[in-house]
Chain A
Amino acid sequence: MSFTFPAIYNFPPFFTQQPTADTWSRQRALWVQLVLSYCASHRLFLVDLNELSVSPLFTNASISRSLNRKAIDAVFEDIVAAGNGEWEDKKSRSRCFVWWKRPDEWAALIYAWASDNGQKICTVYEIVEGDVTEGLEFHGLHIDAVKRVLEVLVRQGRGQLFYGSSDTDMGIKFA
């Protein structure tokens, strides 16, 4: 899957935190957009900031520039603040769910699929990896990400998460 970076990606100052507050916030907004579209294109759901900082997203080899870690953290703070991200662990802040589709959008997609196909009880694994969802948009969703999505459904009263006889494999009953 090829991802075409925007023109600004080849602009060296884009990779340096700009001193003017206004410019810096504008720059962050552009980075947020870039991160979201990059993750959507590569279907990344849970990103490790350490890994991502050395990925082509934050490192442009052709102009030998990369965004430093502090700036990356700031960009991700913005993503989380906008509701397009969620720290896996709020304290360590090393891994972040990237909601390029918001959890409620995913939840709506999954619920629509379940009600259209008369699915009553599904394992979480089945929803994201099963043969029945092959080719659907939420197929391949990260297993931890989908759990958070399903929690949205529980809050909406459209489903109930539960365990079988083992405590490891979760399932959902759709309303």
Chain B
Amino acid sequence: MDAFKPVLDLVHAISTLDFQAFTAALLRVLDALFRMFLSVDWRMQVVIVISVLVTVRMTMSIARTTLRTAWWGVKACALLIALVKQPPKITQHDRAILDLKVQRDKIKKYQKKLAQVAESETRIAKSHLAKGDKRRALLALKKKKYQESLIEKADMQLLNLEQMTDTIEFALIERDILEGLKQGNTVLKEIHKEMNVEAVQQLMDDTADAIAYQNEIDEILGGKLSDADMEDIEEELEALVAAEFAAMPKIPENQLPSAQIDLELPDVPAQEPSEPIQERRQKQKVKAQEEPMLAS
């Protein structure tokens, strides 16, 4: 069992995805194998080497086949993706538009050719004129005029074609719009089906009922409180108030001594003072000392 311990470690390292443990275990396994290899007879060693080489060779050929299979698998996947990612489908309308556009291209090409011919006719006319062949020059110019009239005609055709293409393309857009509106309409209808008027009315009634029921419950619960417990509550409140009062300091019963100040002032003397002021001051001082100090 001891000989298999490195192998078990290796398996454990693989299962826990611990890379460091894996390398360490692998080294130990290789070390053990190498020791075993050294310990056996040389003939046995030769046999082992040959068998290892054969195994490696076979594994490689298998791997190559596997790779090839994998390659086919990748290709098949790509094909599937291509199938899923389907290019736009070609409809009859598309073909009609393309035909019109192709016709337009053809007319444009034709016009280009005509323009070139007209140009060359001008050149021919010039060269004839230079040679003094007026008749031929005139003919060339006639040809040129004819080409130009053809170009003009082609322009009209072009206009027709482009109008047609535009009309078709616009009609297609309109069809798309209609399709969009239709889908919107269906969705709206489905939503309305889910919430018809009766159901909404029913729901509102139910809600009103539920609210009334809730009120009733509230009333019942509220009433119970006021009937049975209200007296208790009131009593408790009174007790609490009384306790509060007891805790407060007493209001003093006897009156506070009132602070009375004698605000009686001496009268203004009626006659002129006969004594000088100094003397009078002296007298007043003596008088003040005689009087009881009421204010203090």
Contact = CB atoms under 8 A, between A and B. Distances in A.
Nearest to B109: A125
A120 B169 contact: yes
A121 B98 contact: yes
A110 to B, nearest CB: 15
A159 interface: yes
A155 to B, nearest CB: 7
Given A126-B105, A164-B102, A121 B97 contact: yes
A166 B99 CA distance: 8
B283 interface: no
A164 B98 contact: yes
A121 B94 contact: yes
A159 B105 contact: no
Contacts of B90: 160, 162, 173
B82 A157 contact: yes
B99 to A, nearest CB: 4
B87 A157 contact: yes
Nearest to A122: B101
Given A157-B82, A157-B85, A157-B87, A166 B102 contact: yes
A159 B88 contact: yes
Contacts, number: 62
Contacts of A122: 101
A171 B88 contact: no
A165 B99 contact: yes
A171 B94 CA distance: 10
Contacts of B101: 121-123, 126, 171
Question: Interface size class for chain B?
Answer: 20 to 34
A172 to B, nearest CB: 9
A154 B87 contact: yes
Interface string A142-164: 00000000000011111110111
Interface in B93-150: 94-99, 101-102, 105-106, 108-109
B282 interface: no
B86 interface: yes
B193 interface: no
Nearest to A165: B99
Contacts of B85: 156-157
B105 A125 contact: yes
A169 B86 contact: no
Contact of A162 (B86, B95, B169): B95
A122 B88 CA distance: 14
A162 B90 CA distance: 8
Contacts of A130: 105, 108
Given A154-B87, A159-B88, A160-B89, A123 B102 contact: yes
A175 interface: yes
A20 to B, nearest CB: 37
Given A123-B105, A171-B102, A164 B87 contact: no
Interface in A103-128: 120-123, 125-126
Contacts of B86: 157
A160 B102 contact: no
Given A155-B82, A173-B88, A162 B94 contact: yes
Contacts of B97: 120-121
Given A157-B86, A173-B90, A175-B88, A164 B105 contact: no
Interface string A6-36: 0000000000000000000000000000000
Given A121-B94, A162-B94, A175 B87 contact: yes
A160 B82 contact: no
B154 to A, nearest CB: 15
A122 to B, nearest CB: 7
Contacts of A159: 87-88
Contacts of B169: 120
B94 A173 contact: yes
Interface of B: 82, 85-90, 94-99, 101-102, 105-106, 108-109, 169
16 contacts: A120-B94, A121-B97, A121-B98, A123-B98, A123-B101, A125-B105, A126-B101, A130-B108, A159-B87, A163-B98, A164-B95, A164-B96, A165-B99, A169-B102, A174-B88, A175-B88
Given A122-B101, A157-B86, A173-B94, 11 more contacts: A120-B97, A120-B169, A123-B101, A125-B105, A130-B105, A158-B87, A159-B87, A160-B90, A162-B98, A164-B95, A169-B106
